[in-house]
Structure 1
């Protein structure tokens, strides 16, 4: 649906050139929700503004549903953008216009018949749960309600693609969850492909099928969300995952525990998270597992658990127990130092 091919963007400043994007290639499948995550300055906002050509790339192409929009004329691009909705962190609502008019004005500007405008505005206000706020002004709305108006406006041209530029970062946690639930419903019921950028791991966990991790203008890791975050390779990805679980042990504790056994990080995903594996190995092998730290969370619909466990017992018994866990699909990694305990998720 969205294909970003070798995209680069260089800004010219008085202090020289700044490479905001460096040879970025991504593919977003039709009907999916794709998230791009990175810390401040990673290039996320530049990337999403290049997708609908609010910023023109220095090189590379962006194709939507098979059409290379980077090659379109100004008039063709204007028409193509009607199929690309966008929501922003700051809502971008007209303060002097009612909720109804904020959604209707883009339709009026593109010549949509009055009858169709009324039908669309009412339909999309109903979808975002604001039918009773049509005559209200933005100043009378909460932050979450303002973002719902912005989403209704983004949907008004009945787009095939919805872009979200940090659409929840200005909201409190409960409101964020409500907006994410709304995006999930829009994706499922309307079949709209969603590409979002965020610095919040919670957003990726909650809604994204696939993810790309950015740093310094480059994509450093990408793939299915559950694959990327259960087996992170890059340091930035590991930092995001560690933010979920935050396992930390002191060197003194690690050295003390190693005298009577070994410490392992265990990762449970999918079906492996539902089996009482530690209970089973205590009966099969002469070991005593002690959970030092752990948590279970969700990556969209998939459970993902991470534990730090001290296995007390003889080396050969621990080795056999670890082999058994690996056969059951549980990822294992021995923890040797404090720094490892910080990085492991």
Structure 2
């Protein structure tokens, strides 16, 4: 559905050459939700704007539904963009226009007749749950309602792809959850493929099938959401996980506990989440697990459990117990101070 091949974007500034995106390869399958996460300045916004050529790549190719759009002329590109909707952090609503007109005006500009415009406005306001706000103005809406209007406007052109540029970062946590629920509904019920960028790990957690971690213009790690939550490799990925997973312990505490055993992070996924494996370890190997932190993360396509323990006992018994846990499908990581 969306393929980026060796895409780079370079800006020439007064201070010199800036490589915002560096040789990125990305493949979003039809009907999936993919997320790009990174800190401010990582190149996320530039990358997503390369997908619909709001920013034309310096090098590389962009394919939509198998067609290379980087080689299209302006007329054909404009036609292709009709199938790509986009929502932004800032909503971009006309302040002096009603909710109805904010959705209707773009439809009129592409030549739809009055009846079709009315039908689409009604249909997509109903989908986003704002039918009763049709005659309201943006100043009369909450932040979440404004974003719903922006989503309805993007959907009204009936795209196959929806791009989301930090669409929830200006919203409070409860409103963010409601918008993410809406995006999931859109993906499932309308079959729309979604590519989003974010710096919020809870966004990735809730709706993404596949994740790209971006740093200094590069994709430094990628994989299914479950893979990244259970087996993060890069330090940037681990830092993002620490924001939601209660994974981080102070080095001083780890050093203190290491004198009487090992400090371990255990990651449970799939069937292992429902088994009393720590109780089994305690009975079989004469070790004493002390739970320091624990949580369960519900992802779009599975559940991941994280437990940080202090495991006391003879070193041989500890090694045997860790081997037992690994054989049961538990991820084991020894933490250092």
Normalising by structure 2, we get a TM-score of 0.97
CA distance in structure 1 between the partners assigned to 2:231 and 2:313 by the alignment: 28
Partner of 1:147: 147
Partner of 1:165: 165
1:197-236 maps to which residues of 2 (within 5 A)? 197-236=197-236
Secondary structure of 1:115 counterpart: helix
Q: Deviations over 1:139-178 (max 9, x none)?
A: 1000000000000000011000000000000100000000
Tell me the C-alpha RMSD between the 2 structures: 1.2
Secondary structure of 1:145 counterpart: helix
Deviates more, 1:314-323 or 1:210-219: 314-323
Alignment CA distance shift 1:106-1:320 (3 Å): same
Secondary structure of 1:116 counterpart: helix
After TM superposition, give the deviation of residue 251 of structure 1 in Å: 4.8
CA distance in structure 1 between the partners assigned to 2:20 and 2:293 by the alignment: 39
After TM superposition, give the deviation of residue 254 of structure 1 in Å: 3.2
CA distance in structure 2 between the partners assigned to 1:302 and 1:24 by the alignment: 28
Q: Deviations over 1:110-167 (max 9, x none)?
A: 1012211111110000000011111111110000000000000000110000000000
After TM superposition, give the deviation of residue 280 of structure 1 in Å: 1.6
Partner of 1:105: 105
After TM superposition, give the deviation of residue 282 of structure 1 in Å: 1.6
Alignment CA distance shift 1:52-1:251 (3 Å): closer
Q: Say whether residues 1:268 and 2:233 are aligned partners.
A: no
| Counterpart contact for 2:39–2:199, Cα < 8 Å | yes
Q: Deviations over 1:236-267 (max 9, x none)?
A: 11111122234444555434433332221111
Q: Say whether residues 1:31 and 2:27 are aligned partners.
A: no
Unaligned runs of 5+ in 1: 339-345
Q: Say whether residues 1:282 and 2:282 are aligned partners.
A: yes
Partner of 2:15: 15
Deviates more, 1:269-278 or 1:180-189: 269-278
Partner of 2:131: 131
CA distance in structure 1 between the partners assigned to 2:85 and 2:191 by the alignment: 13
Normalising by structure 1, we get a TM-score of 0.95
Secondary structure of 1:194 counterpart: strand
CA distance in structure 1 between the partners assigned to 2:239 and 2:215 by the alignment: 12
Partner of 2:242: 242
CA distance in structure 2 between the partners assigned to 1:158 and 1:313 by the alignment: 62
Alignment CA distance shift 1:255-1:173 (3 Å): closer
CA distance in structure 2 between the partners assigned to 1:132 and 1:207 by the alignment: 27
CA distance in structure 2 between the partners assigned to 1:164 and 1:258 by the alignment: 45
Partner of 2:89: 89
Alignment CA distance shift 1:220-1:120 (3 Å): same
Deviates more, 1:107-116 or 1:158-167: 107-116
Secondary structure of 1:70 counterpart: coil
How many residue pairs match? The answer is 337
CA distance in structure 2 between the partners assigned to 1:325 and 1:253 by the alignment: 24
After TM superposition, give the deviation of residue 287 of structure 1 in Å: 1.3
